[in-house]
Every structure is written in structure tokens, then in C-alpha cells.
Amino acid sequence: MRYVNTVKEFIFEEERPFLSCHASTLELLPGGDVIAAWFGGTREKAGDVAIWISRRGDKGWTPPVKVADQGDVPHWNPVLFRTNKGILFLYYKVGTNIAEWETMVIRSTDNGHTWTSPLPLVEGDKGGRGPVKNKPIVLHDGTIAAPASLEPAWDAFVDLSFDGGETWTRSEIVPLEHSRMKGKGIIQPTLWESVPGIVHMLTRSTEGSIYRSDSMDGGRTWCAAYPTELPNNNSGIDLVKLNNGTIALIYNPTRPENGKNKGPRTPLVIRLSQDNGHTWENEIVLDEGEKQYSYPAIVASGLDLYVTYTWKRERIAFWKITLADLA
């Protein structure tokens, strides 16, 4: 990978108001600031797990602030998304079990300084509508496409909003022959639009490979999911499409070991594709070694990549990587 500059930081150090943290998300703000969110508490699934945020400005990262805590119930998988009209959404899940998740949303009109009270994304939802881990994208016609999935079914779909995120319409489930799979299936897609109306997803899977599906109608219907040559450890991935068409993918390039459901969550790498995700350049290693570097999130502005991820369940790491001009 060709790059000209990198910056690595921790959003907070060892002193923190929670024992464990995971599943970060980030978004770019006007003026060059960055906002990040994650869930933190005693441990994943504990009743004290809440949603926290921090903001990076000229003086570095602000101390973590709790922004969502609905009592003695676990909170999960926050996702930040800022619309073209300047509304900043923060989606997250609540529920003791994944099958009972309800997606909640709060919003900010002052770039994350203040937030509304939480509301259900879809009234009566159980199982989790809207973005499940990775950010929505805005399609050429203004449609917001949110990558979504269902457990315990282990199926992927996309939630579509045609009115700026006020209401949502679920796509068809991505076709998948579960009977031919060794494990449960695919979840946690990440999206890009290659040309107007043609949308693609890469997904986490139980099969040792990242899976892909393609839509020819703006995300409403999808082809049968198929494996790529990219390894997957049955853990989260993310990608972003740059303005020049380059796709930057961040993931753990490992597979589950024999007889195990998941593979090592190390190393964590970025790879680039300049042919719509068919081939990938050599990787840049962000972290490697024992324990986990996982559940990454990535956004971009020009040739600058911005990344957050779980660092050993103790901190959230942040990178800014400036790529060389690929023209």
C-alpha cells in the first residue's frame, strides 16, 4: 500500500470509566474534528454496558462521555452517521439477547454536543433493524442504505430510507444456501455503490471467507451471497469507497482453526482495491500480536483514511492514514 503519513492514537488511556470496551464507530465533522462512539461497561452483555462518545479536535480527544444508558440492560454496536443536511445520527442496539435487540436512535443538530432522547428506529422492532455494525451509505439518488443482519438466522439485508432517515423499508434477505454451509451464515455487511444503482456488500461469515453479494436495483434485491478469496475469522469487517473509486477494506486476514467457530482477531490490516473489489493490493498492518484488534470502522475524506477499532477490549485505537495519490 502506498501512503505518505500515518498517525496512531488511543482515544483514552488506561484510566477509564469502564473495564471493557468494544465495537467502535466514527464520523467526520466540519472543521476537521472526528467523533467516535463505542460500548463500554463491566463486560460485553453486562447490564451496565452503555454507549460512550469522545471527540477529537485541535487539543486531542475529549474524555469519554456516556450518551445512552437505558438502565439495567446491555447496549451494543453503536453506529454514527451524518447526513448531507448536517444531522448526526447515533444508532445502537439494546437487549439482553441478540434475538431480542431493539434498535434505538438519538440525533444531534450541533455535531454531537447535545442529543435528543432515544426513540425506536422502527416501532415494534425485535431483532434489530437499521445498521447492525457498519455505517450507512448515501446512494446516488439520496437513498440511505443501512447494512443490517439478523441473528440467530445469520442472514443479511439492507434497510433503505427514502426520506433522510425518518422511515425505513427492509430489502429482501440476501439469498444464501444455509444447508450447504459449515456454520450459521453471514452477518454484519458493509456497503459501497460502484455506479448509480449498483450496490455491493462484503460480509462476515462462518465459512472462513468474506462473502459478497451484489444488487442491480439500489439495494432492494440481492444476488446469492458467494465467497471471496479474502479470509475471514468470523469477526467484523468494514470498508469505505474513496472519491477516486478505490476501496479500502479493514479486517483480520485469518480463518477459524479446525474445529473452532472463530479465528484469531489479529493481525488487523487494510487492503486496497482499484477494480471494484475483485483484486486487492498488499496490506498495511495496523496491529498484531496477542489478544485482539477487532471490530474496525473506517471512513474517508479525500485521500485520508480514518480508522477506529477495539484494542484488547481495553481501549479504542485511532489511526489517520494519508494515502499517496493513486492516479
- Strand 3-10 and strand 20-28: pairing? unpaired
**Cβ contacts of 125 within 8 Å, gap of 6 or more:** 102, 103
- Rounded CA-CA distance 293/243 in Å is 27
**pLDDT, mean of residues 265-269:** 97
Tens of pLDDT along 157-215? 999 999 999 999 999 999 999 999 999 999 999 999 999 999 999 999 999 999 999 99
Q: Which residues of 252-263 are buried (b: 16+ CB within 10 A; e: fewer)?
A: bbbbbeeeeebb
pTM across the whole model? 0.97
Mean pLDDT in the chain?
96
Whether 18 has a pLDDT exceeding 90, the answer reads yes
Q: Which residues of 146-161 are buried (b: 16+ CB within 10 A; e: fewer)?
A: bbbbbbeebbbbbbbb
Tens of pLDDT along 237-257? 999 999 999 999 999 999 998
Tens of pLDDT along 209-233? 999 999 999 999 999 999 999 999 9
Longest pairwise C-alpha distance within the chain: 53
Residue 119, exposed/middle/buried by CB under 10 A (0-12, 13-18, 19+)?
exposed
- Strand 102-108 and strand 119-120: pairing? antiparallel
Whether 327 has a pLDDT exceeding 80, the answer reads no
Residue 189, pLDDT score: 98
Give the CATH class of 3-323.
mainly beta
Q: Which residues pair with 115 in a beta bridge?
A: none
Residue 151, pLDDT score: 96
**pLDDT, mean of residues 65-85:** 97
- Rounded CA-CA distance 77/88 in Å is 16
